[in-house]
Structure 1
C-alpha cells in the first residue's frame, strides 16, 4: 500500500502534495529550507491543519462562485449514542475524530443534516478545505455533464482529438474512458520520495513555474490502454484539460455553471492554480470547498444525479461511478499497493457488494462517502500526519459503514 495517491493511503504517492509543495514554494524568506523540509513541516500536524484550510493565502486561485440562492440543508441533530466496533473495541464519534484527526464532519440522512462538527483548529462551516484528490470525483461529474450536453462526443474519443498537443506522446492512443478508469497505460509513477521521479518533475512544474505539458509529453507508455489500473494524477490532469478544451471554459467556470449554481452552494469554492503561466487548475487535486457544499455534491450523487426535481448529472453516469464491471477494477483487484476494501471506477473508489456504495477520497483523510441505498452522505475532512495511514483508513471505513447501518436501523 505504498503507492496510493488520492485515497489518503500512500506516503509515496501523494497527488495532493502538489498543493502543499506549491504553497511552501511561495512563502518567501527561507523558502529554500522549507522546500527541503516540506514533508516534515507543511504535511505534519499541527501545521497541516492551517495549510489545508488556507491554500488561497499562498497560491493563485480561481473562484467557483456560490449559487445565487443557497439550497437549505434542513437540520435535525441525531446519531445520539452511536458507536462503532474496531479492533475489538467499541468507540464513539468523538474517539473517531480524535484518532483520525478529523477537522470537519457532516452527515446527511434522507437529505437532513443529522450531524455537523468542526474539531479542527481552523475549521468552521465557512472554511474551504483542500480536498486533494476528491477533486478527481468532481472532475468526473463535470465530464459526465459535458458528455450529456454534447460538448464531449464519446468516452471512446481519443484524448488527442481534443488535445492535439499530446500527439506523439503516450497519451496518443488512450480514450477519455481509459483515463476515467485510471487505465491509460501511461507510465506515471507518483513517487514523492524520489526527487528524480516523474511525479517530482510534475510537482516542480506546478510549484516552480515549469511546463506541465513538457512533463506530460515526456511520460513513457507502460501498458496498452484500457486493461491495467495505475493510479495517476496526470491522467486526471489530462482529463481536466480535455474538459476545458471541449467546453471552452475553465474548470472553475464550468464547476460553477454546472454544479455550484445548481446544487445551491452556500460558499464560493476555488481551485488553486499553477504558479507558472498559463496558469491552470489541477483536475486531480486543487479544489477547495466548504463541508456543507461537498455534502450537497454527495446528496446529488446519492439521488442518482437529480436534486429537487432537477436533473444535473446523468443517472447512467452515477451508475458508472458505483462500479465499472471490469475485472481489473473490482474491489480487491487493484493490486497489493491498495487496500482490498476498494475498487475503482470513473474517478471514484468503489466499495462493492449489493449496496454498491462509493466514495471520493483525498490524501490525509478526506472522504465523500455516498450510500444511495440508505440515502446517506458523509463528508469527513482530516489532517492526518502522513498522506498514507492504512490504520486510520481502515478505522474510518469501519466507522462509516457502522454509521450507515445505525441510521438505517434507527429509521
Structure 2
C-alpha cells in the first residue's frame, strides 16, 4: 500500500511484458499450438537424435474401435474423446502391430514429429537406466554435485540421482504455470529468451527434506539430464541416439529443441520431438522388458522399476498437491496401481501420452493440443478411455 509521503509510480513507467517474455504463452495457445507443437524446430535451436541404419516397419492390422468408455455418468465414444480432448494423433499397438491409427490434428500425420513435452522425462529415465547399467553413472545414490560442481552450495548439492528420478528432491515449490513469477515460468522465459537456465535452477529453494515427499518438478529432470551429460561427456541428443534411438528401427530421426543461450542445452524434462509411431516403438520396448529385436536395449529391471514403487509417498493417490489422485509415480513414469496392473504412462502438458499396459501387450500414443497446460478432468477422461481400449484388446489376446 502506498503511504501518503510516497508518489505512486506513473502508469507510463510500468512496462507490459514484451513479446519476447510472453512467447511461451503465445505459442501454446489454441489454435496456434496445433502448428507450434509440430514445428518446434522452426522456432528453437535443435539437435538431431539420429535413427539407426536398420528400419523395422511396424506391421499394420487395422481394427475399427467401435467401443465406448464410461465417464461422468454416461457412455462416450472415441470420437467424443478426440473432440473433447483436442487429439492430434492416436496410435494403438497390440501384440506388436498397429491396430488403430488416427491423425485428426491439422498438421499431424505418420511422419510428423510431435512436441512431447514431459513424456521426454520418461525417455530421460531410460537413458539414466542405461548409464547406470554401463557404469557411466556409478550409483543411484551419487549426488548432483559429484557430477555438476557448479551445484555446490545450492539446494541440489546433496540430492541423489534416486531423488531426482522419483521427484523427491525436496527442492522448489509447486510447479504452477498460471503464476507469472513461478519457478517454471522463469525457467521457460530463460529457455526461450536467452537467459541463464542453470542459474534459475540453482536458485530454487529447499522446501522439504530430500526423499520425504513427492513434488512434481521439471527442474529435477533437467538436473538429471545435466548429470547424465556430465557423466557421459556428450549431449543428451547424442547419448539418446547412440544408446536408444538407433536400436528402435525408427521411421525418422527425433530431435531435442535447445535453449537459446549458449552453451545450448536440451530440456531433458520437455523438449523431445518424435513421430507417434516412433514413440509407440518406445512403448513396445517397455512392454518387452527393454528388448528390441532380441537386443537388451534398456535393462530389464529398470523397465520393471518404472511400473511402480513400494515407497508409500509414491503410491496411487498419495502424491499430494502436485499429482492427480488417480496416479502414483515411479522412475519418471506415472503409475496406475493394482486397479490397472502393469499399466503406466509417460505424460506431457497439453495432453501428451505414452500409455503402456504390459499385461495386455498394448501401447497407446495420444498427442493433443489442449488449450491449457494442465487439466485434471481432461486427463482423467483420457486415462479412462485409454484403459478401456487396453481392456478391450486384453480380452482378445
Can you list the C-alpha shifts for 1:281-320, whole angstroms capped at 9, x where unaligned? Answer: 0110010110000000000011111122110111110111
**CA distance in 2 between partners of 1:401 and 1:173 (Å):** 39
With normalisation by structure 1, the TM-score equals 0.89
The answer as to 2:119 corresponding to 1:134 is yes
Superposed counterparts of 1:6-405, under 5 Å: 34-35=19-20, 38=23, 41-353=26-338, 355-405=341-391
Change beyond 3 A, Cα 1:400–1:156: same
Unaligned runs of 5+ in 2: 1-15
Residue 40 of structure 1, CA deviation: 6.5
Which stretch shifts more, 33-42 or 295-304? 33-42
**CA distance in 2 between partners of 1:79 and 1:331 (Å):** 32
Residue 349 of structure 1, CA deviation: 0.4
Which stretch shifts more, 34-43 or 314-323? 34-43
Can you list the C-alpha shifts for 1:101-131, whole angstroms capped at 9, x where unaligned? Answer: 1101101101010011100000011111000
With normalisation by structure 2, the TM-score equals 0.92
Residue 209 of structure 1, CA deviation: 1.4
Q: CA RMSD in A?
A: 1.6
**CA distance in 2 between partners of 1:246 and 1:111 (Å):** 34
**CA distance in 1 between partners of 2:243 and 2:279 (Å):** 15
**CA distance in 2 between partners of 1:39 and 1:64 (Å):** 24
Residue 93 of structure 1, CA deviation: 1.7
Q: Contact 2:21/2:189 (CA < 8 Å) preserved in 1? A: no
Residue 193 of structure 1, CA deviation: 2.8
Q: Which has the larger radius of gyration?
A: 2
Name the SS for the 2:59 alignment partner: coil
**CA distance in 2 between partners of 1:82 and 1:258 (Å):** 38
> Highest relative contact order (Cα 8 Å, sep 6+), 1 or 2?
1
Name the SS for the 1:285 alignment partner: coil
**CA distance in 2 between partners of 1:366 and 1:259 (Å):** 21
**CA distance in 2 between partners of 1:65 and 1:39 (Å):** 27
